[in-house]
Structures are given as C-alpha cells and as structure tokens.
Structure 1
Amino acid sequence: MAVVGRGVRAFWLAVLLAFTGLAHADFSGQVVAILDGDTIDVLVDQRPVRVRLAQIDAPEKRQAFGTRSREALAALVFRKTVLVGEEGRDRYGRVIGTIHLGNLNVNEKMVREGMAWVYRKYSKDKMLYELEDQAKVHRLGLWVDPSPEAPWAYRRRPQK
C-alpha cells in the first residue's frame, strides 16, 4: 500500500510542477521555419512552437553575418526532426532550448562555426566559451571581421 501511495504523491507532484511552470520538458518535432541564426519554429502536434536557442546570440538579420548565420542554421536543421531540451521561456513567450539533431548539439555547432556568440548574459557553459575562443583563433564565420559587433550591442544602437 505504501508503494501505491508514493506513486500517487509523485504523480500529483509532477502535475503540480507542470502547472506552476517549474517543470521543463523535452519535445521533438520537425523544424518548419528559420527566423534567424538563433530562432526556429518546430512543429509539435501540428502547431509551430517558437524556440530561441539557449545560451547563444546570433547576428541580427541586418547585421554583418546575419544572413549567413540564418543560412547555416537552416542547412543544419530545416525540415529535420530535432529534439528540444526546454530550459524555460523568455519574455516574448518563446521556448528557450538546446537543439539536438541526433547526437549533434546545434547550439554548440553554431558557436563552433563562428555563426553565433556565446550570450554572456545568460550562459555559464564553459564549453561554449571554449568553442567561441577556438572560432576566434581560427577566424571562422563572423570572426573573419577584425572587430565584429555583438548582437546585444547592435540591438542597443539606434537603427537607421
């Protein structure tokens, strides 16, 4: 009887956590849109779910390398089924997540290829910083520019 009681308590705890937003779940689906180098739409239950790649920040569309970053992400995941490791939601309601395509961590690959920065405000992942340093040393992607502007700085600047 005690085992059943424990199982029931665990079930209700899981339900409670799900409704309070404290529980994060992984989900999978086909990538149906690439908005930019760090935002995709994943089809889940025939509805698109907007996902912002966690811990990275890609160049904005009108920024240098913005188009190339978007194209790089599209080449990796467009029309493919990905697993999203959900880490929460941002202020716009987007899922923040780590994208996996099989064994490939897409967030890491974007940084490794110089198609995104480590988002310093939100990342504590030392591996991402190491990947970014290697991309800089090898002048990959956006690091061919002698003084690339970080997207967070670009967004703060008044735009024409």
Structure 2
Amino acid sequence: MFKNFTNTILMLFFLFGNYALAVERLEGKVVGVHDGDTLTLLVTGNKTLKIRLAQIDAPESQQAFGQKSKQSLSDMAFNKYVLVDKEAVDRYGRIVGTVFVGDLNVNRKQVEQGMAWVYRQYAHDNTLLQHEANAKQAGIGLWADPNPVPPWEYRHGGEVKPVAAKQSAGNSCGSKRYCKQINSCEEAKQYLACGVSSLDRDGDGVPCEKLCAN
C-alpha cells in the first residue's frame, strides 16, 4: 500500500513538474513601445518579438489618455530587460503574455495607474478588476475622463449603442448573437453595427472572421 502511495506521489510530481516546465517564459530587452499594451522585445539571436500585454486593453493612440498610457508603459519597460510569461499567440502573430520588470507586474501596474482597462473578454485574473475599481474610484488616469470609452468599443466607431436603437423597419437587427447563426459577412457587419459585440471576440472591428476572411 505504501509503495502504491509513493508511486502515486511520484507520478503527480512528474506530471505537475512537466506542466510547470511547459510554461514558456521569454526574456529580452524592450526596444520598442507601440502603445499602452504592445511592445517589441529583442531576444537571443537578435530576433524581435511583438508582445501584447495579456488581460488588459489600453486606450487607442487617438483616444484620451492613449499617449499617456504609451508613455506609462515606456517609463516602466523601455530599454529594460524583462521577463514575459507567454499565454498565447494572437491572430496577428503577437505573443500574448504578462510582462515583468524585476518583481513589477507591468500589466497590473497599467491597470492600477488608470492607464488600461481590464479586457473582460480575455481576463482570468479577477484581482485585476479590483485594481481597476480602485483606480476608477480614485479618478486617476483615464478615469479622470467623465465619460471614458473602452477601446474595444472605440474600435467599433464609438460607444456601442443598444441593439434596439439601431433597428428600423428596413434593417432590423433581429435576435442572432453568435457567428454560427450568421449566413454572410454582410449580415455579420450589420449585426456588429447594431452593437452585437459577441461577433467580434478579438475586438479588431472585423466580425465573424471565417465569414469575412476575404
């Protein structure tokens, strides 16, 4: 019995040990900052990688606080050696991950300073929402704006209006909410214009990518 228990412990250790090793951590020097949530990392072999900060969405460059958000990220990371915990690769080929400068979690700090929103669609760390709430209550950064517009709504042409507000006798939005219900790219764009943001999960302004690929 003891032998079986020991074998089980060793197996669990082996499995979880391998899982830990499988988590990819990148390191390099930040040589470019593009906006408040995207930077360029120079790694071994003189190779550059585009890094998209995970779970957050900074104001677009043309938005209020867009340039301040970029400057905030630059102040923390530009020309510094950082670690990146990789989570995924997005459809643009960018590495999505959490950036660390020493012990500083850069993603979290952007939210704490009111320089980025928590990207609800992709967030999995619930503590980020509390940091955002604290920044909002303090009215710092983008929260100083009386009517801040989330960047995923800004990319759609401004604040998303309720579906009913866009309905008309000749162009009713109907009740479809998922790409599997949509028959064409044109129909997808009509629904997106009505505010059905679930059709644009990556927030790039293109709904139902499989239908609108061409």
Q: Taking structure 1 as the reference length, what is the TM-score of the superposition? A: 0.83
Between 1 and 2, higher relative CO (CA 8 Å, sep ≥ 6) is seen in: 1
**RMSD of Structure 2 on Structure 1 (CA):** 1.5
- Post-superposition offset of 1:124: 2.3
Considering fraction of residues, name the structure with more strand.
Answer: 1
How far does the alpha carbon of each residue in 1:14-64 deviate from its partner, in whole angstroms, 9 at most, with x for none? 8xx9xxxxx541010000000000000010121110000000000001111
Q: 1:79 maps to what in 2?
A: 79
Q: 1:57 maps to what in 2?
A: 57
Q: Point out where structure 2 has 5 or more consecutive residues left out of the alignment.
A: 1-13, 159-214
Following the alignment from structure 1 to structure 2, what is the Cα–Cα distance between the partners of residues 64 and 24? 36
Identity %: 49
Max Rg structure: 2
Q: 1:134 maps to what in 2?
A: 134
How far does the alpha carbon of each residue in 1:40-93 deviate from its partner, in whole angstroms, 9 at most, with x for none? 001012111000000000000111110000000000000000000000101101
Q: 2:202 maps to what in 1?
A: none
Q: Structure 1: which 4+ aligned runs deviate by more than 4 Å?
A: none
- Post-superposition offset of 1:108: 0.2
1:29, 1:43 within 8 Å by CA — same for their partners in 2? Answer: yes
Relative to structure 2, which stretch is displaced further, 129-138 or 119-128? 119-128
Paired residues in the alignment total 139
Following the alignment from structure 2 to structure 1, what is the Cα–Cα distance between the partners of residues 85 and 153? 27
Q: Taking structure 2 as the reference length, what is the TM-score of the superposition? A: 0.63
Counterparts of 1:43-54 in structure 2, within 5 Å, are: 43-45=42-44, 46-54=46-54
Counterparts of 1:7-156 in structure 2, within 5 Å, are: 23-45=22-44, 46-156=46-156
Following the alignment from structure 1 to structure 2, what is the Cα–Cα distance between the partners of residues 27 and 123? 21
Q: Point out where structure 1 has 5 or more consecutive residues left out of the alignment.
A: 1-9, 18-22
How far does the alpha carbon of each residue in 1:96-123 deviate from its partner, in whole angstroms, 9 at most, with x for none? 0100011110000000000000000100
